Amino acid sequence: MSSALRSIGRSSLGWLLPALLLAGWEGASRAGLIPANVLPAPSAVGEAFWKLLWSGELIENIRISTLRALSGFVIGGAIGFALGLANGLSALSRELTDTTLQMIRNIPHLALIPLVILWFGIDEEAKLFLVALGVFFPIYVNTLLGIQGVDPQLVEMGRIYGMPRKELFLRVILPGALPSIFVGLRYALGIMWLTLIVAETISASSGLGYMAMQAREFLLIDVVVLSILIYALLGKLADSLARFLERLSLQWHPAFQTV
Amino acid sequence: MTAATITARHSFANSAFTAPSARIHTPEPAGKLAFSFRNVAKQFGGTEVLQGISLDVYEGQFVAVIGKSGCGKSTLLRLLAGLDKPTSGELAGTDDRRRTRIMFQEPRLLPWARVIANVEVGLTGIAKGEAARQKSLEILAEVGLADRGGEWPSVLSGGQRQRVALARALVGHPSILALDEPLGALDALTRIEMQQLLERMWLAKKFTAVLVTHDVTEAVALADRVVVIDSGRIALDLAIPVERPRRHASPELAFFERQILDQLYNR
Ligand SMILES: Nc1ncnc2c1ncn2[C@@H]1O[C@H](COP(=O)(O)OP(=O)(O)O)[C@@H](O)[C@H]1O
Ligand SMILES: [Mg+2]
């Protein structure tokens, strides 16, 4: 019981600094130290939040952005995972594709924006493509690294005990690669939001990035700040979810054993 | 050189114990062959690691293999376990892979599987579900880990992990157990405990044991027969006809230990 309380205390400790910053910001705005046209007070941002929430505009934009982010993530992540598995398990597949992929990896995916706009216009495909491409590499690279890093002695052990290929994969190789795959997952989630923000800011007619750009045109700085905060929150949410899953599936790992 | 000739050549007159010939434990060569190496050689690249190894091991025998580092002991065991193929020569009695289990210096437990699930790995293709669980629980109790089945391997000590590995190796009732320096990484006291456990399990399960070790004391304490390998060949094949239970560092064992050390260092 007391250890549970302590762990709640621990996890809320991380929120202390943001809360203090927020209070300081509000105080500085009220005292007139920060002009409202540079950075609105948190209370003003809060007001904007309520207004947009009631009009339904905020929810709709969050929904659209989240949907875009997740679809891109699923597409890019699935391809990256599949290729990572294939190249980790088959030398032939690795020799065929890995060099090419490593070459493409050196192109910053956001540098492709002009080309992507030429290909897809400003439609959904453009954003999906960019997010998927951004997510693909961290998942691919870390899945491949994870599989290549599986202890060969354990794999040999599985063979000695006559595990069929499928069982060897599910019981030895995949669990061994999982810590690395999670590193890729969390990194990919960060890239996912980053890519989406950029893509929506440049070309979109809905979504959070679009909302922020519209607000900028009408000099609604509180809405701009609100959009940025919501991006931060969504990013944090995605990361927390990934960490939760990580904790759940890596219980065996000494690093995750809290007791 | 056969084991018999070597024991015969040495006189026991100068030792402080009676001639052990009357209490031979080693199964007589009349027993059934567990496996045999016939003129087996193994090369890696150009180098001959093993050459002309011929070895008949009888069912239920406890054989210790000793030799300097790099002399090919592990290679011998890997051939026995079917993990490598000999370059030339023949192995008999090792066709059914399920009959042979091998234990290494590292326990090689799956860190992401509970202890009980790790033991169940030893029943792959033999038993499943409740039956597998039951058998695994039984053998865990036999190695003294009755209540640790639900733990992660990472919380166990080195000796306990090696016990789990032993349980996993034995749960499927192999007829041959190959052990590649399984106690090499343990501290002295844990080693002795594990040696006793190994002997107890061997007596209870009646498998053929082939133990690679660099510890001569361990070899003579456990084995019916010690094979010394030197530059890829069998240099000595010595019977240890000492009754069990054996006492550590008894003069009888010291006698055999000295013979092996003499051979190893060409004294
Ligand atoms: N897979 C391999 N490829 C090449 N050389 C090997 C391989 N395995 C073992 N060797 C060589 O064979 C020799 C014997 O190795 P090993 O059987 O492991 O010795 P031991 O277990 O007695 O210390 C060593 O010189 C080692 O370098
Ligand atoms: Mg070795």
pLDDT for res A2: 63
Of A158, A162, A175, the CB nearest to B97: A162
Over chain B (267 residues), the average pLDDT of each successive run of 10 is: 39 41 44 92 93 94 95 94 93 80 96 97 94 97 96 95 98 96 93 95 96 94 95 93 88 94 86
* Buried b / exposed e along A93-127 (16+ C-beta atoms within 10 A): ebeeeeeebeeeeeeebbebbeebbeebeeebebb
pLDDT for res B28: 53
State how many domains chain B has: 1
pLDDT for res B24: 35
Nearest by Cα to B91 from B5, B191, B176, B179: B176
In a domain, B154, yes or no: no
Cβ atoms within 10 A of the Cβ of A249, count?
A: 16
Q: Once rounded to an integer, what is the mean pLDDT over residues A174-179?
A: 96
Q: Once rounded to an integer, what is the mean pLDDT over residues A13-25?
A: 89
Contact A257 B97 (CB under 8 A): no
Q: Above 90 in pLDDT, residue A139? A: yes
In a domain, B232, yes or no: yes
Q: How far is the CA of A61 from the centre of ligand 1 (A)?
A: 64
Domain that holds residue B238: 5-17+29-108+174-264
pLDDT for res B73: 95
A246's tokens = 């990580």
Q: Above 70 in pLDDT, residue A209? A: yes
In chain B, the N- to C-terminal Cα span, in Å, equals 18
- A41-252 in CATH: which number? 1.10.3720.10
Q: With a CB-CB cutoff of 8 Å, which residues 102-141 of chain A face chain B?
A: none
| Residue at B195: amino acid letter | Q
Q: Classify residue B188 as exposed, middle or buried by CB count within 10 Å of its CB (0-12, 13-18, 19+).
A: exposed
pLDDT for res B31: 81
Q: Which of B77, B114, B124, B126 to mutate to test the interface with A (most CBs of A within 10 A)?
A: B124
Comparing alpha-carbon positions, the chain B residue that sits nearest to A154 is B108
ipTM (interface predicted TM): 0.86
Q: Once rounded to an integer, what is the mean pLDDT over residues A218-227?
A: 91
Q: Once rounded to an integer, what is the mean pLDDT over residues A37-44?
A: 88
pLDDT for res B27: 47
Q: Classify residue B251 as exposed, middle or buried by CB count within 10 Å of its CB (0-12, 13-18, 19+).
A: exposed
Flag whether residue A170 sits within 8 Å of chain B, measured between CB atoms.
Answer: no
Give the model confidence (pLDDT) of A45-59 as tens digits: 999 999 999 999 999
pLDDT for res B144: 96
Give the model confidence (pLDDT) of A75-104 as tens digits: 999 999 999 999 999 999 999 999 999 999
User: Does residue B218 contact residue B248 with C-beta atoms inside 8 Å?
Assistant: no
Q: Which residue in the block uniquely carries the two structure tokens 């009676």?
A: B18
Q: Give residues whose Cβ lies within 5 Å of ion ligand 2.
A: B 74
Q: Classify residue A183 as exposed, middle or buried by CB count within 10 Å of its CB (0-12, 13-18, 19+).
A: middle
Confirm whether pTM is higher than 0.90: no
For residue A141, which phi and psi values (nearest 5 degrees)?
-60, -45
Secondary structure percentages of chain A, helix, strand, coil, to 5: 85, 0, 15
Q: How far is the CA of A118 from the centre of ligand 2 (A)?
A: 62
Spans of all domains in chain A? 41-252
Q: Once rounded to an integer, what is the mean pLDDT over residues A168-175?
A: 97
The whole-angstrom separation of Cα B226 and Cα B219 is 7
pLDDT for res B248: 81
Q: Once rounded to an integer, what is the mean pLDDT over residues A126-135?
A: 94
The whole-angstrom separation of Cα A132 and Cα A154 is 34
Q: Classify the C-alpha dihedral A94-A99-A102-A108 as positive or negative.
A: negative
Ligand 1 neighbours, Cβ below 6 Å, are B 44, 49, 67, 69-75
pLDDT for res B262: 92
A157's tokens = 């052990």
Give the domain CATH number at B217: 3.40.50.300
DSSP B27: P
